[in-house]
Amino acid sequence: MNKNLFEKLLILRSPGIGPARYSELLRRFDGDAAAAATALNASVAHRDAVMREMARAAELNIHYICDDDELYPVALRAVKNHPPVLTARGNLDTLRRRAVAMVGTRHATAAGMEFMANLATEFASHGIAVVSGMAIGTDTAAHRGALRAAGCAQTIAVLAGGVDYIWPVENESLYWDIVSHGVVVSEMPVGFTPVAQNFVQRNRWVAGIGE
C-alpha cells in the first residue's frame, strides 16, 4: 500500500478538493500529505467514511494507485492536474503497457464498429493496450476488439463512476471480461454514482492514458 494513502484519500474526498486543489495543498506542505491532511482538520465522520471506502475496496479486490507509484500510467502523470489517486480492478500489469486511446460515437454503424474492433485487435496483438470509456457503440467495439487478441492485458476501461459501478448496464458482461483480461480504472471513490460532468472528465483521462 502506498505510503500515506489514507491521508491522500482524506484530502481528495474532502468537499471542494479536486486534483488542482490537492496539488496546491501538497505544494504548500512541501509534498507532505500527512501534514496537509492534518491541516484540514477532518471530522471523525469524514475519516470514518474514508476508512469504510478503503475497507470496501479491499473486499472487492480494488487497488489504489497513487501518482508516485510505479504502476501509475506514465502518460497520464504528465497531464496537468491529473488524478492524484486512481482505483483499479483487474490485471494491473495492463497499466505498464504502451496504450492508445480509441473513442467515438455511441451510434456507430455496424461497419464502423467492425472497423474499430479490427483496429483494436491489431493494436492489442502488437502489445499495445487499447484505452476507452466502456460506453455503448464505438467504445464497446474497441474493447471487444482488443479482447479478441490472444493473452491478457489488452484493454483499459476508464469509468466515470466508481471502479465498481458498472455503466451502462448493457455492458456488464464486457466489464467482467475487461476485469479478467485487462483493467478497469477510475479517479472516483469506490461506489460512486456518476453525474454528467464526470463523463467529460473521464474522456480527458482516456486521452491522457493513451500515448
How crowded is the C-beta side of 88, counted as CA atoms within 13 Å? 23
Is the pLDDT assigned to residue 3 strictly greater than 80?
no
Tens digits of residue pLDDT in 84-134: 999 999 999 999 999 999 998 888 899 999 999 999 999 999 999 999 999
Is the pLDDT assigned to residue 152 strictly greater than 90?
no
Nearest in space to 167 (alpha carbons), one of 131, 206, 205, 140: 140
pLDDT computed for residue 1 by the predictor: 67
Q: What is the mean pLDDT of the chain?
A: 95
pLDDT computed for residue 105 by the predictor: 86
For residue 77, what is its C-alpha cell? 502523470
pLDDT computed for residue 115 by the predictor: 95
Q: What is the percent of the chain with per-residue pLDDT over 70, rounded to a whole number?
A: 100
pLDDT computed for residue 104 by the predictor: 87
pLDDT computed for residue 9 by the predictor: 97
Q: What is the percent of the chain with per-residue pLDDT over 90, rounded to a whole number?
A: 92
In angstroms, the CA 146 to CA 6 distance is 35
pLDDT computed for residue 153 by the predictor: 82
Lowest mean pLDDT among 67-71, 116-120, 151-155, 170-174: 151-155
Mean pLDDT of the region 27-43: 94
pLDDT computed for residue 34 by the predictor: 94
Contact 211, 96 (CB under 8 A): no
Lowest mean pLDDT among 105-109, 134-138, 158-162: 105-109
> How would you classify residue 158: left for phi > 0, otherwise alpha for psi between -120 and 50, otherwise beta?
beta
Q: Which residue has the higher pLDDT, 104 or 211?
A: 104
In angstroms, the CA 149 to CA 126 distance is 9
In angstroms, the CA 72 to CA 65 distance is 6
Tens digits of residue pLDDT in 57-84: 999 999 999 999 999 999 999 999 999 9
